[in-house]
């Protein structure tokens, strides 16, 4: 319990540091955030009233304390351009980002674990020598490049998938959940998921392959061979299960990291998620919305980092026992 509380405190302090940096970073940027609203037609009193409406007439330290107090109540301020609460705006697009991230990670990690175990089994064969460079290439290639190639090939040329958005023009739904569970939504989701999964699968595949190569020389694997078990049963039932620990913790971290990396994918495919909302907010100097988007991504990353710590301590008790010793 002491180690769990320590991990929680570390993540909480890191999140507080991110909140502080984001707050002062946006307010120290050059230019007024209300430049789009304030013009020559507004007199001095009207300009001051507009600054007071958004709380920008107070000293910086007082704004910071007010912001922390509002965060404690789940409030992130008011969007300059949409004139709506930032929390409400972000919660509308959060399901899209989570669905894209989780779908891509599940596809990438299921494929990566199975392919990594198979390549370790085929160690030294021509299949391994051909597959590893391909995996490294997809991992090293920029996400936007993979997205544009697939977009040009599968959407513009072959017409198999829509070029962007989350629903077709003219489609009407009674609720957001009805839209999410529709076939049209899944059709729009497929190409961004394929793109992100291609980029993400390199880590679990190479990690699983590396762990499998170490585990395959352990004594329990030799004992399984002596019992006459088939190679595939040894690989999947014995070696792979013991090599999964780093992959499982990498998956938990991957959720948070992918939420931040989705900015590029969501922009390329015009996917209405937090990443695309962040880009739009920064471009129009709507820093309450941009600050809220950054903070939500950082919060998800901190939560998943804490979950990864818990998973590691649960799956490998040597971590907690060793620290206690």
Domain ranges of the chain: 2-72, 89-324
Neighbours of 311 (CB within 10 A): 17
Residue 38: pLDDT band with limits 50, 70, 90: low
Assigned token pair, 76: 């992130």
Whether 180 has a pLDDT exceeding 50, the answer reads yes
pLDDT tens digit string along 185-237? 888 888 888 888 888 888 888 888 887 777 766 666 667 667 666 666 666 66
Assigned token pair, 250: 């990498």
Question: Which of 140-154, 204-218, 221-235, 286-300 is least confident?
Answer: 221-235
How does DSSP assign 150-174, residue by residue? HIIIIIIIS--S-SSSSS-TT---S
Residue 63 vs residue 325, higher pLDDT: 63
Cα–Cα distance, 124 to 302 (Å, whole number): 40
Residue 240 vs residue 64, higher pLDDT: 64
Residue 33: pLDDT band with limits 50, 70, 90: low
* DSSP summary character for residue 30: S
pLDDT, mean of residues 245-268: 75
Residue 14 vs residue 250, higher pLDDT: 14
Question: Which of 65-69, 169-173, 192-196, 197-201 is least confident?
Answer: 169-173
pTM surpassing 0.85?
Answer: no
Cα–Cα distance, 147 to 136 (Å, whole number): 17
Identify the pLDDT of residue 44: 64
pLDDT, mean of residues 277-305: 82
pLDDT, mean of residues 294-315: 78
Identify the pLDDT of residue 315: 60
Assigned token pair, 158: 């072959």
Q: Report the interhelical angle of 202-215 vs 86-121 (nearest 10°).
A: 40
pLDDT, mean of residues 267-292: 83
* DSSP summary character for residue 78: B
Both ends of the chain: CA-CA distance in Å?
14
Q: Which CATH class is domain 89-324?
A: mainly alpha
Residue 325: pLDDT band with limits 50, 70, 90: very low
% of the chain at pLDDT higher than 70:
77
Q: Report the interhelical angle of 143-150 vs 245-268 (nearest 10°).
A: 60
Whether 21 has a pLDDT exceeding 50, the answer reads yes
H helices present in the chain, as ranges: 2-27, 44-53, 60-72, 86-121, 126-140, 143-150, 176-180, 183-200, 202-215, 219-226, 231-233, 240-243, 245-268, 274-283, 287-315, 318-324
């Amino acid at each position: 319990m002491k180690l769990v509380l320590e991990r929680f405190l570390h993540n909480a302090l890191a999140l507080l540091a991110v909140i502080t940096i984001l707050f002062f970073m946006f307010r120290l940027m050059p230019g007024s955030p209300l430049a789009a609203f304030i013009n020559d037609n507004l007199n001095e009193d009207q300009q001051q009233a507009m600054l007071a409406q958004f709380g920008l007439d107070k000293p910086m330290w007082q704004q910071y304390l007010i912001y922390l107090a509002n965060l404690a109540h789940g409030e992130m301020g008011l969007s300059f351009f949409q004139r709506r609460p930032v929390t409400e705006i972000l919660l509308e697009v959060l399901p899209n980002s989570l669905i894209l991230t989780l779908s891509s990670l599940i596809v990438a990690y299921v494929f990566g674990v199975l392919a990594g175990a198979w390549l370790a089994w085929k160690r030294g064969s021509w299949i391994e020598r051909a597959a590893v460079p391909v995996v490294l290439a997809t991992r090293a290639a920029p996400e936007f490049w993979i997205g544009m190639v697939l977009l040009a090939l599968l959407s513009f040329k072959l017409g198999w998938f829509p070029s962007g958005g989350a629903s077709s023009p003219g489609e009407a739904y009674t609720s957001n959940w009805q839209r999410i569970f529709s076939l049209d939504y899944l059709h729009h989701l497929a190409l961004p998921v394929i793109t992100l999964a291609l980029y993400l699968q390199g880590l679990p595949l190479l990690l699983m392959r590396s762990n499998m190569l170490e585990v395959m020389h352990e004594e329990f694997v030799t004992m399984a061979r002596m019992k006459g078990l088939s190679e595939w049963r040894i690989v999947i039932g014995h070696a792979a299960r013991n090599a999964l620990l780093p992959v499982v913790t990498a998956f938990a971290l991957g959720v948070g990291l992918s939420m931040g990396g989705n900015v590029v994918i969501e922009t390329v495919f015009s996917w209405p998620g937090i990443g695309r909302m962040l880009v739009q907010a920064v471009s129009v100097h709507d820093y309450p919305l941009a600050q809220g988007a950054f903070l939500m991504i950082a919060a998800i990353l901190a939560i998943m980092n804490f979950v990864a710590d818990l998973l590691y301590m649960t799956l490998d008790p040597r971590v907690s026992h060793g620290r206690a010793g």
